């Protein structure tokens, strides 16, 4: 199966996106390429990554997000695969607006499984479409930054980019929009 792929260089390093049939089916970082390819291989028979320039306009929309248009990625259609519970968690993540965070426990309550905080965390960790399915918006019960497959430095950057005031930083000290080179 052919999957279209593109790479974007930005402040986060290389971002690799994968799409097919008008849907984003993978987004990870260049140093997570093995994880991305393993996830795709589990979901698609004999996947073949085919380089493409801005598949379905998703690269342009991600660049717009990185440049400060935080809503640019909100309605990108995704194809995540996963179990029904994982898809439910990922859909709930997409309802967290940019600039906001939610605790794992609060998200467990939102999906109707208040005792499933760890399961929510596990589903969050298996998210195949980083940034667009905003797993970076989940925080610990004390608002601490916990776990992120792309690393806590990237999670911190994404949250600051979205205007989240993090501990040790003034609430009005927001990052400037990132200027991303166009292809």
Secondary structure of residue 146 in the 3-state scheme: coil
What is the C-alpha to C-alpha distance for residues 119 and 122, in angstroms, rounded to an integer?
A: 5
Which residues are 16's β-sheet partners?
A: 7, 28
Q: What share of the chain is helix, strand, coil (3-state, %, to 5)?
A: 40, 20, 45
Between CA 89 and CA 24 the distance in angstroms is 17
Q: Is 10 a catalytic residue?
A: no
Backbone angles phi, psi at 172, to 5 degrees: -90, 5
Residues with Cβ within 8 Å of 168's Cβ and at least 6 positions away in sequence, in order, are: none
Residue with tokens 């309802």: 95
In angstroms, rounded to a whole number, what is the distance separating the alpha carbons of residues 152 and 146? 7
**Which position among 102, 135, 145, 180 bears the catalytic label?**
135
Task: Please list the active-site residues.
Answer: 135
């Amino acid at each position: 199966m052919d999957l279209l792929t593109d790479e974007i260089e930005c402040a986060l390093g290389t971002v690799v996106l994968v799409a097919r049939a008008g849907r984003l089916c993978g987004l990870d970082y260049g140093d997570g390429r093995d994880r991305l390819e393993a996830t795709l291989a589990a979901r698609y028979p004999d996947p073949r990554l085919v380089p493409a320039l801005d598949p379905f306009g998703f690269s342009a929309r991600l660049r717009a997000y990185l440049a400060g248009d935080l809503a640019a990625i909100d309605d990108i259609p995704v194809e995540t695969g996963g179990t029904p519970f994982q898809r439910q968690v990922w859909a709930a993540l997409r309802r967290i607006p940019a600039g906001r965070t939610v605790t794992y426990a609060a998200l467990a309550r939102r999906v109707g499984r208040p005792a499933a905080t760890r399961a929510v965390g596990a589903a969050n960790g298996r998210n195949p479409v980083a940034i667009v399915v905003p797993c970076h918006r989940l925080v610990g019960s004390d608002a601490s930054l916990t776990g992120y497959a792309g690393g806590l430095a990237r999670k911190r950057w994404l949250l600051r980019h979205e205007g989240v005031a993090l501990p040790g930083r003034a609430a009005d000290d927001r990052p400037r929009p990132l200027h991303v080179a166009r292809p």
